Amino acid sequence: MNTPSSLEALIEALRCLPGVGPKSAQRMAYHLLQNDRAGAGRLADAMQRALVALRHCQRCNTLTEAEICSRCLSNRRDASQLCVVETPIDMNMMEQTHAYSGLYYVLMGRVSPLDGIGPGELHLDRLLARASDGVVREVIIATNFTNEGEATAHYLSEMLKSRGVSVSRIARGVPVGGELEYVDAGTLAQAFRERRPFAR
Amino acid sequence: MNTPSSLEALIEALRCLPGVGPKSAQRMAYHLLQNDRAGAGRLADAMQRALVALRHCQRCNTLTEAEICSRCLSNRRDASQLCVVETPIDMNMMEQTHAYSGLYYVLMGRVSPLDGIGPGELHLDRLLARASDGVVREVIIATNFTNEGEATAHYLSEMLKSRGVSVSRIARGVPVGGELEYVDAGTLAQAFRERRPFAR
């Protein structure tokens, strides 16, 4: 091949992006070099700046530029509730509901034995310390309803309950606007088992 | 939102990549910062190095680190044939066929009035000078068979023929291994119109 080495290095480096294989990496590299050199320069800068500036919040473990993130420092949040999510994206999703005003703990992952991620790799001792600070009254587990997310939720609830912390799990069921005809049987079975009495 | 500014800047900057919208940019940024900081560092470096090192070959217009690329300098290529392609990726595709040993000219685009790209924006005067060097005997147009590619091919052939340059176009037709049942009617009509006598 006659591909220059700096171009080959860029194509190879682009493959660190999730979902980008050799073909897309090639297309991205040529697109940037042909049509958007300014954008490529900004991207390289932004990436280096983010790598230097961002670290984990000492309280909630999300990515932040400060020692403790602004949400954890806010006095408008209810510090007695602690919601555990897998990723900062999940935390943003929860925030967009405007249904929750407590604090968060971001696991930055999930228990996934197949990927070699056990409870130790997630540093759950930090969550335990956070939940045992004397202010938190309820830990709400909002990990995904995948196999790994459910296993993580189960492990966390056992760990927290054994320390006397009150633990809950967000509800499973038929999605709002969902039609029974198009909901999978597993979800429907759970929705049936976890049915709730009508409020009077 | 409580997203740190360096993280927001990275998410925004990632959107210069083709096919990456706000959701994927967010997912990419968190993935890199959580799981692959080394890869992100390498990517930022590779991008800055490529932006500095790569320029256009003075003869064929492809991306290269030298004044003139190694393919144009090779004396094992047939300098009497010049194949015109839209992008360096198309050139690589042609090379992989091992069916062509001439030289190339890379347009780095196509005539596309809707995107504001006319013949002037493609710097076709450089191609004309290249094709009129006295050594080139045949220009083979291998732009895509899209509307824009066909318009580009038509424009190029008119321009080159008016200067007395011999011009050809790669063949259209049913793909090798293709079944008539699954070929679209337009392709089949072209294949019929452009049928060739069997070699004796």
pLDDT (tens digit per residue) in A16-51: 999 999 999 999 999 999 889 999 999 999 999 999
B65 and A39 within 8 Å at the Cβ level: the answer is: no
Q: What is the pLDDT of residue A200?
A: 60
pLDDT value of residue B179: 79
User: What's the rounded mean pLDDT across residues A116-128?
Assistant: 87
How many contacts, defined by CB atoms under 8 Å, are there between A and B?
A: 166
- Which of A1, A3, A6 is most worth mutating to test chain B (most B CB atoms within 10 A of its CB)? A6
Query: Whole-angstrom Cα distance, residue A130 to residue B110?
Result: 59
Domain ranges for chain A: 56-169
Mean pLDDT of chain B: 89
**CA of A176: how far to CAs of A144, A168, A173, A179, A180, in Å?**
17, 21, 9, 9, 11
Range with the poorest average pLDDT among A149-158, A170-179, B23-32, B77-86: A170-179
Count helices and strands in chain B by DSSP H and E runs: 8, 6
Predicted confidence (pLDDT) per residue in B95-128, tens digit: 888 888 999 999 999 888 888 888 888 888 899 9
Cβ partners under 8 Å of residue A70, min gap 6: A64, B2
- Amino acid B116 reads G
Among the residues of A36-107, which ranges form H helices? Answer: 37-53, 70-73, 88-97
Mutate to test the interface with B, among A3, A5, A7 (most CBs of B within 10 A): A7
Domain A56-169 is in which class? alpha beta
pLDDT computed for residue A184 by the predictor: 82
Q: Per residue in B5-54, pLDDT tens?
A: 999 999 999 999 999 999 999 999 999 998 899 999 999 999 999 999 99
Q: Measured between CA atoms, how close is B76 to chain A, in angstroms?
A: 14
| Cβ contact, residue pair A17, B31, below 8 Å | yes
Would you call B188 an interface residue with chain A, using a CB distance cutoff of 8 Å?
Answer: no
CA distances from B6 to A116, B36, B87, B100, B162 (A): 31, 17, 34, 49, 55
* Model confidence at A198: pLDDT above 80: no
Q: Write the ipTM.
A: 0.75
Interchain contact A107–B (C-beta under 8 A): no
Integer-rounded Cα radius of gyration of chain A = 22
CB A30 within 8 A of CB B74: no
Q: Give the three-state DSSP class for A74.
A: coil
Q: For chain A, say whether B92 makes contact (Cβ under 8 Å).
A: yes
Overall average pLDDT of the B134-153 stretch: 91
Q: To 10 degrees, the CA torsion angle through A167, A168, A169, A171? A: 180
- Residue B172 forms contact with A (CB below 8 Å): no
Percent pLDDT > 70 in chain A is 98
Q: What is the pLDDT of residue B99?
A: 85
What is the per-residue pLDDT for A199? 63
Mean pLDDT on A1-15: 88
Q: What is the DSSP string of B102-153?
A: EEEEE-SS--BGGGTB-TTTTTHHHHHHHHTSSS--EEEE---SSHHHHHHH
pTM of the model: 0.76
Q: Does A123 touch chain B (CB under 8 A)?
A: no
Instruction: Give the pLDDT band (50/70/90) at residue B182.
Output: confident
Residue whose token pair is 């062509």:
B100
User: Could you tell me what percent of chain B has a pLDDT over 90?
Assistant: 59
Asked if B84 and B156 touch (Cβ cutoff 8 Å), the reply is: yes
Alpha carbon of B10 to those of A53, B6, B32, B39, B46: distances in Å?
A: 11, 6, 10, 15, 16
Q: In this structure, what token pair is assigned to residue A116?
A: 């070699």
Tokens of B145: 């068979």
pLDDT exceeds 90 at position A86: yes
With bands split at pLDDT 50, 70 and 90, how would you rate the model's confidence at A152? Answer: very high
Give how far B42 is from chain A: nearest CA, Å: 6
Give pLDDT, residue A185: 81
Q: What's the confidence (pLDDT) of residue B199?
A: 63
Mean pLDDT of chain A: 89
